[in-house]
Amino acid sequence: MTDDIRTKKLINAPEDIIPEAIEGMLLAHPDMLKVEGATKRAIVAKDGPRDGKVGVVVGGGSGHEPAFAGYVGRGLADAAAVGNVFASPSPEHIMDAARAVDGGAGIMFLYGNYTGDVLNFDMAAEECQGMGIPACSFGVTDDVASAPKGREGERRGIAGDFFVFKIAGAAAEAGRDLDGVIAATKKANDNTRSMGVALSACSLPQTGKPNFDIGHDEIEIGMGLHGEPGMRRGKLATADEVTTELMAGILGDMELGSGDEVAVLVNGLGATGPLELYLLHRRAAKILAEKGVKIHYSWVGEYCTSLEMAGASITLLKLDDDLKTLLDMPCKTPALTVAG
Amino acid sequence: MTDDIRTKKLINAPEDIIPEAIEGMLLAHPDMLKVEGATKRAIVAKDGPRDGKVGVVVGGGSGHEPAFAGYVGRGLADAAAVGNVFASPSPEHIMDAARAVDGGAGIMFLYGNYTGDVLNFDMAAEECQGMGIPACSFGVTDDVASAPKGREGERRGIAGDFFVFKIAGAAAEAGRDLDGVIAATKKANDNTRSMGVALSACSLPQTGKPNFDIGHDEIEIGMGLHGEPGMRRGKLATADEVTTELMAGILGDMELGSGDEVAVLVNGLGATGPLELYLLHRRAAKILAEKGVKIHYSWVGEYCTSLEMAGASITLLKLDDDLKTLLDMPCKTPALTVAG
Amino acid sequence: MASFENAGSGAMVRKVAAAVVENRAWLSEIDGKIGDGDHGNNMAKGFGRAAERISDGDTLDAAFATVTDVLMGEIGGSMGPLYGMFFSDMADVVAGKERIDAPTFAAMLAAGAEGVMAIGEARPGDKCLLDALCPAVTAAEENAAKGFPETLVAVRKAAEDGRDATVDMIAQIGRASRLGERSRGVQDAGATSCALILVTLADAIEARLS
Amino acid sequence: MASFENAGSGAMVRKVAAAVVENRAWLSEIDGKIGDGDHGNNMAKGFGRAAERISDGDTLDAAFATVTDVLMGEIGGSMGPLYGMFFSDMADVVAGKERIDAPTFAAMLAAGAEGVMAIGEARPGDKCLLDALCPAVTAAEENAAKGFPETLVAVRKAAEDGRDATVDMIAQIGRASRLGERSRGVQDAGATSCALILVTLADAIEARLS
Ligand SMILES: Nc1ncnc2c1ncn2[C@@H]1O[C@H](COP(=O)(O)OP(=O)(O)O)[C@@H](O)[C@H]1O
Ligand SMILES: Nc1ncnc2c1ncn2[C@@H]1O[C@H](COP(=O)(O)OP(=O)(O)O)[C@@H](O)[C@H]1O
Ligand SMILES: [Mg+2]
Ligand SMILES: [Mg+2]
Ligand SMILES: [Mg+2]
Ligand SMILES: [Mg+2]
């Protein structure tokens, strides 16, 4: 009996969920988005790609909405390659996106650093290079919980994607060449650190089962974006205590001192809403204030999710003048509008 | 044993959740928001209220984030009065908001039509009038599931708040006088219809218990924003079937025909994310297309929630030229930015 | 005829508050069945805070005024205005009185019920707190001439019977009014808290009389 | 020496695909313990679609190429490129051959393993599909001279032992590599699907030989 209990979701056939969601998304944002290519997995900005501009292609598995297609639009990503739930898009999906945004100035591929994404985007980048299109494949590595200091390159990409994508998109929009976009992206990634916590599991539409077990009074500190286990399983604690632990993980890994400036992202994983997220932001802001670190801007909401998981992550982007300028540049996408 | 199982939330003491969330919200958006008044429950736009402009005050219980304080900012609401979880703000909370936004041109109070909100906002409006400030207390009544045709005035306000607030805010921003703002608000409310569905219960921070029971294969059609039962309990159905039923409820209650234009809001209640919401939008858009109804603009995301409830609602706003102009006017708030 | 001193009534109101706080979980649970599950939270927050500001020696009207201030100023929700007016209008009747006898008590309850009806526009039979309150008013008025002990017995019984009768009613007011037949079979939360308040107050008065 | 005809091998690959689809839930479940719980979904989607496009009469290389096309073109994920290269590099070895004997089979598996290592940069011992695959390659190479029957017995055993050995390993690659000691005690999902593929293929070859 209990084996029959599946997580309730508002879906049709599980195997159709991605093409149908893409269709619904295009119908919702016809002013901003279109789909290009035979695979129908490349969502392209109507008002983005143009001759002489570096094409910015983001992507990854589905289930992280609004990432990744929600960040497609003028001033941010030119296209997103949309994979199946929790699975990287294929090289063909990615190439559909790349072809649509190629403006002769090269392609910047951006995604979270997971084996599948690295393999598929790297293959697409090689294919571009084979066609004479300069291309860079770049995996975001913001999750401090996923590998120790000194092994930063092995880290996963989680909500820090948001900042790295924004910076890369703005650099391309500003007319920088591929090397310039790569330099800005790399700096943004080097300056971004995140850590998350999960309170409940999510379940994949295909299986309908929680994809890990967690006790009714437990939390997983350092949980990944796909329900991968984190650093430790602990007892549920207060918002202040949890935030203090997440901030300790982040601050222990980056140099931040009095007079420095950061952007803050408090991100909900799916079932944790603004009421709770603002409690986390409150504590994070106090910790930063105590260190004399200034907050340039904060985003609090759902920017990179794990289906319906309960939990949150905190991300800091350490700013310099250039990063600040790029972060503040206008953009218009379904998930983020920065007004000019 | 099982009696000890509480819904996990990232909070500190439950009784502190609202003041702490307000603190975190102000620390996150110091460019847009400030708090005014002794009760510390009035969140006021930094760049909103001004002499000669009608002051727009929205409000209601907490737990519906980003409603209501998320809609405070230039071009939308001038202030929000923030109640406890699922409980209207008190007349004193509301008066703190009213005093902060009074620019000599009167006050427009907007909230969802619930006994508690009506009582408290009406008392505040009377108090304003007693002080010589013209004021209108207006409850949004968009939920077709909550009372039959002919008894529209008894209906609840759910996600339709979003459209009615936006129109009222834009009318005030455009410099209309109180009568003009009331007329636009009334027309927006008359032209707005919503219907929702719940898949799971939410739980209040104080009790930590699901606030209603629902079987693992059941849905509640017409569910209110606070877990109030809806029109019928049914078996879980596909996204297309559920959308068809919600749209039938809405379209059966408003006159919409070929050539008409609408704005669409597909709203997640808390734990239902964009992947599922876009499936609902897909079906809704097809139904509208079959009727020859044009979509002017769609919003898909979490705009008015019920804590961590799983489920969604669909809202249509039937547009005329004036409503379209007001809807498209720029605004800048934590939850909604419309670029100019 | 039996009566009690107005001064020194604060302790009674604190007993009422303690009963509300004690029943917080239960009141929220029944509100969850056909409402939004917060009645106990709202009530406990309001009465809990009020109790902190009431001294045992306060007059009844002063203690009631404190309850009103907290409900109307800080609590909001439906209960802020409804119980706020209830206690405020009751306070007006006893304000300035040395002692309170049964007829005064009956007049006080009647004024409170009028206050609730004036602001909330509900009636007995709507499945709301008036279904406990109005029968209690009638019982008080009908028994006041017989003195306090009989009056209190009658008030308690009327409030509890009225509360129990809400089980079979269809809600006509508040959140549950949208449910039609589905609202039947569940006891009303507001009638439950109202009966609790009236019974606890009656018990406290009885204790002071003897 | 025993061998089988290259043409007509499509049916064998469809059997492999059927085994993968059948084990979808199980493969996802073990991936959920230290991964993201989707291994069975990814694999079943890819192999299920490929099976629809493979005819029983296809050559082994043609059938493998179809699997590769679906995995690389439509499936993505980690398995798209990893198993994509596996089948693509195996296809290269048998392409154009009339019949396939045990040494060719061994060479084919070896090329597949090289392909996986070239793209994924993992090694046996990392707790991944190579822990089933590489021992199977070695077993095939060591037994090929003895003929197909012995080779298939050895390959099956090596793949299953290799799969079982992943339980005690600490993951060094993929999602689980961030877990350190916490990744121990759980069987690797990729090694499980790889053993399943190898065992099913060996069974199918055995059936064709006899
Ligand atoms: N207009 C009214 N007049 C009298 N009592 C009412 C009215 N509306 C609601 N009630 C009472 O309020 C109770 C619910 O109170 P509570 O849960 O605190 O408020 P809310 O419904 O706003 O969450 C109902 O059980 C009912 O007895
Ligand atoms: N670099 C690699 N080389 C070989 N196998 C790998 C590698 N990375 C991961 N794997 C295998 O992939 C399996 C997980 O596959 P799957 O769940 O489909 O992909 P993902 O981890 O992207 O969700 C692991 O169990 C492991 O055996
Ligand atoms: Mg995956
Ligand atoms: Mg309430
Ligand atoms: Mg209630
Ligand atoms: Mg996996």
Note whether A84 contacts D76, CB cutoff 8 Å: yes
On whether residue B84 sits in a domain, the answer given is yes
Q: In the prediction, which pLDDT does B234 show?
A: 94
Largest CA distance in chain A: 60
The answer to the question of residue A169 being in a domain is yes
Per DSSP, the three-state class of A80 is strand
Residue B11 clears pLDDT 50, i.e. is over it: yes
- The answer on pLDDT for B1 being more than 60 is no
CA A203 to chain B, closest CA, distance in angstroms equals 12
The answer on A77 and A32 residing in a single domain is yes
Nearest-Cα distance to chain A for B176, in Å, is 25
By CA distance, what is A25's nearest residue in B?
Answer: B278
Look up the CATH number of the domain holding residue A51: 3.40.50.10440
B252 has a chain A CB within 8 A of its CB: no
Q: Are B241 and B310 part of one and the same domain? A: yes
Handedness of CA A78, A83, A87, A91 (dihedral sign): negative
d(CA D132, CA C26): 58
Number of domains in chain D: 1
Are A181 and A309 found together in one domain? Answer: no
Q: Give dist(CA A38, CA B238) in Å, integer.
A: 28
Q: Say whether B281 is catalytic.
A: no
Residue-level pLDDT at A3: 54
- The mean pLDDT of C21-33, rounded to a whole number, is 94
- Catalytic residue numbers of A read 64, 226
Q: To which residue do tokens 């900042």 refer?
A: A163
Which residue range forms the structural domain that includes residue D151? 3-209
Q: pLDDT at residue A4 above 80?
A: no
Would residue B59 count as lying in a domain?
A: yes
Distance from CA of B106 to the nearest CA of C (A): 23
**Domain of C159: which CATH number?**
1.25.40.340
Is the Cβ of A197 closer than 8 Å to some Cβ of chain B?
yes
Give residues with Cβ within 8 angstroms of B78, minimum separation 6.
B44, B45, B48, B49, B53, B55, B56, B57, B72, B100, B101, B172
Residue D47 preceded by cis peptide, ω within 30: no
- Does D125 contact A at CB distance below 8 Å? no
| D88-123 per-position pLDDT tens digit | 999 999 999 999 999 999 999 999 999 999 999 999
Q: How far apart are CA B316 and CA B193, in angstroms?
A: 6
Q: Is the pLDDT reported for residue A75 higher than 70?
A: yes
Which of A10, A47, A264, A303 is the best substitution to test chain B (most B C-beta atoms within 10 A)? A10
Same-domain status, B198 and B283: yes
Q: Whole domain around residue B291: which residue ranges?
A: 193-338
Write the residue in C37, C74, C81 that is nearest to B123 by C-beta.
C81
Q: What is the pLDDT of residue D182?
A: 84
pLDDT at A233: 92
* Ramachandran class of A52: left when φ > 0, alpha when ψ lies in -120 to 50, beta otherwise: left
- Mean pLDDT for the stretch of residues D57-64: 98
Residue A45: strand pairing partners: A33
The mean pLDDT value of chain A amounts to: 96
Better pLDDT: D176 or A313:
A313
Partner-chain contact B147 C178, CB within 8 Å:
yes
Last residue of a domain, one of B136, B161, B190: B190
* Owner of token pair 């030229």: B321
What is the reported pLDDT for B3?
Answer: 54
Q: How confident is residue B23, by pLDDT bands cut at 50, 70 and 90?
A: very high
Q: Is residue A121 part of a domain?
A: yes
Cβ-based contacts of A279 with chain B (< 8 Å): 10-12, 17, 20-21, 24
Does residue A201 share a domain with residue A150? Answer: no
Q: Which residue of A92, A115, A206 is in closest CB contact with D78?
A: A115
Task: Please work out, in degrees rounded to the nearest 5, the angle formed at the alpha carbon of residue B13 by the alpha carbons of B12 and B19.
Answer: 85
Confidence band, pLDDT 50/70/90 cuts, at residue A1: very low
Q: How do beta strands A55-62 and A107-112 pair?
A: parallel
In the chain, the amino acid numbered A226 is: H
C132 lines ligand 1 (CB under 6 A): no
Residue A40, domain member (yes or no): yes
Arithmetic mean of pLDDT over chain D: 95
Of B281, B264, B280, B277, whose CA–CA distance to B316 is shortest? Answer: B264
Are residues A90 and D32, on separate chains, in Cβ contact within 8 Å? no
| Domain-located, residue B3 | no
Regarding the beta carbon of C189 and ligand 1, being less than 6 Å apart is answered yes
Same domain (yes/no): B59, B74: yes
Examine the pLDDT at B254 and tell me if it is beyond 60: yes
pLDDT value, residue A11 = 97
Say whether both A292 and A215 belong to one domain. yes
Q: Which residue in B122, B102, B84, B133 sits closest to B36, CA to CA?
A: B102
Q: Does B170 lie in the same domain as B40?
A: yes
Closest of B317, B268, B292, B318 to residue B64, by C-alpha: B268
Rounded CA separation B212/A323 (Å): 48
Could you tell me if D57 lies within 8 Å of chain A, comparing CB atoms? no
- Above 80 in pLDDT, residue C1? no
Task: Give the integer Cα–Cα distance in Å for B100 and B89.
Answer: 16
- For residue B225, the surrounding DSSP H or E stretch is none
CA angle at B138 for the pair B136 and B143, rounded to the nearest 5°: 170
CA-wise closest residue to B117 among B165, B142, B82: B82
Mean pLDDT of C149-153: 97
Of B129, B160, B190, the one marking the end of a domain is B190
**Same domain for A254 and A184:** no
Hunting for tokens 């009908």 — which residue is that? C142
Q: For ligand 1, what atom is nearest to the CA of residue C117?
A: 3
- CB A43 within 8 Å of CB A25: yes
Choose among D153, D161, D87: nearest CA to D131.
D161
Residue A2 lies in a domain: no
- SS percent in chain C: helix, strand, coil, step 5: 75, 5, 20
Point out the residue among C33, C38, C81 whose CB comes nearest to the CB of B120. Answer: C81
Asked if residue C54 lies in contact with residue C61, where contact means CB atoms within 8 angstroms, the answer is no
Token pair, residue D6, equals: 């290259």
Active-site annotation holder among B29, B64, B93, B281 = B64
| Domain annotation covers residue B319 | yes
* CA pseudo-torsion sign B84, B89, B91, B97: positive
What atom of ligand 1 comes closest to residue C121's alpha carbon?
1
Domain identity same for B79 and B175? yes
Total number of domains constituting chain A? 2
Six-digit token pair at B89?
Answer: 């703000």
Cβ contact (<8 Å) for B10 and A276? yes
**Is A297 in a helix, a strand, or coil?**
strand
> Within this chain, do residues B181 and B206 fall inside the same structural domain, yes or no?
no
Domain final position from B190, B224, B250: B190
d(CA C81, CA B135): 19
Q: Answer yes or no: do A226 and A287 share one domain.
A: yes
Neighbours of chain B (3+ CB pairs under 8 A): A, C
Whole-angstrom distance, CA of residue C192 vs CA of residue C92: 25
Encode pLDDT of C156-190 as tens digits. 999 999 999 999 999 998 777 777 888 899 999 99
Query: At residue A2, does pLDDT exceed 50?
Result: no
Q: Is the pLDDT of residue C142 over 90?
A: yes
Please tell me which of the candidates A90, A93, A206 has its beta carbon nearest to residue D41. A206
pLDDT in tens, D62-95: 999 999 999 999 999 999 999 999 999 999 999 9
Tell whether the model's pLDDT for residue A258 goes beyond 80: yes
